[in-house]
Amino acid sequence: MTDTNDAYRFDFISIDGEPLPLDAWRGRPVLIVNTASFCGYTPQYSDLEALWQRYRDRGLVVLGVPSNDFGRQEPGSAGEIKQFCVANYSVDFPLTEKCQVIGGDAHPFYRWVAESLGEAGTPRWNFHKYLLGPDGQLAGAWPAQVAPIDRRITGEIKGLLPDAIQ
């Protein structure tokens, strides 16, 4: 049975133009991060890739959502964004097409987050992080200033992964 109030009802489009339904990762924790190529926080791509490499075999999904909403720091095309991420940070985790993450035209996932967490829970800048639990519910949210490898984030991720050597 599908819960119509969980994140699994939302679909993105991959940076390559393919369907990217969150339902494909049902039962797995998903870290969703709005990203930008020309931001002071852009080096967080390295930490996001490190998380992906460390925990993906145990089920973690890292999903980058490029957005030009803050400071116009993601002006490029899908091809330019992907090339930048791969060339500069060896990004191997999934990326979506460029999306709005704030306001009335925000992607439906981000509108759901705003409804769930209130205005204070919406992204305030690039590299805002949301962790979905295996049940598709929000399990955590952190602003850009909190690095992806911060213990607050990795502790939550570890708590959602199947038991194994951590």
Please, which residues have CB within 8 angstroms of residue 146's CB and are 6 or more apart in sequence? Answer: 129, 152, 153
Residue 58 and residue 28 in contact, taking contact as beta carbons nearer than 8 Å: no
- Amino acid 146 reads V
H or E segment to which residue 79 belongs: helix 78-89
Kindly name the residue from 9, 13, 14, 39 that is annotated as catalytic.
39
H or E segment to which residue 54 belongs: helix 44-55
| 85 given a catalytic annotation | no
Cα(3)–Cα(1) distance, integer angstroms: 7
The catalytic residues are 39
